Amino acid sequence: MVSFALFWVMEKRSMSKDMFLSLKDKILMEKSLIFLIFFSSKVIFLFKKFSHANSHSVLYQIEKETDKDSKPNYEIEANRNN
């Protein structure tokens, strides 16, 4: 579609083939740059999202392990006090 539009512009303005190709290359580079920026922002967003989720699961697991460790200690202390 971009090539068709550029070809139409080239005919209307009597552009040379070299100018047409350089304009086409510039547009393709801009499109690839936009895609690269978009893709890298998505990767960064997903990395932050999963690292945040993993930190919560690690904290939950640490809390769970400390709860396991603390429950028997409370029972031992209760038995000592009786």
- Residue 40 tokens read as 């890298």
Domain count, the chain: 1
Q: How far apart are CA 5 and CA 20, in angstroms?
A: 11
> Which residue segment(s) compose the domain that 23 sits in?
2-81
CA 54-59-63 angle, to 5 degrees, is 150
* 3-state SS, one letter per residue, for 16-57: CHHHHHHHHHHHHHHHHHHHHHHHHHHHHHHHHHHHHHHHHH
Q: pLDDT tens for the chain, 82 residues: list them.
A: 556 666 666 666 666 666 767 777 888 888 888 888 888 888 888 887 777 665 556 555 656 655 555 555 555 555 555 5
The pTM for the full model equals: 0.38
Residues 28, 49 contacting (CB under 8 angstroms): no
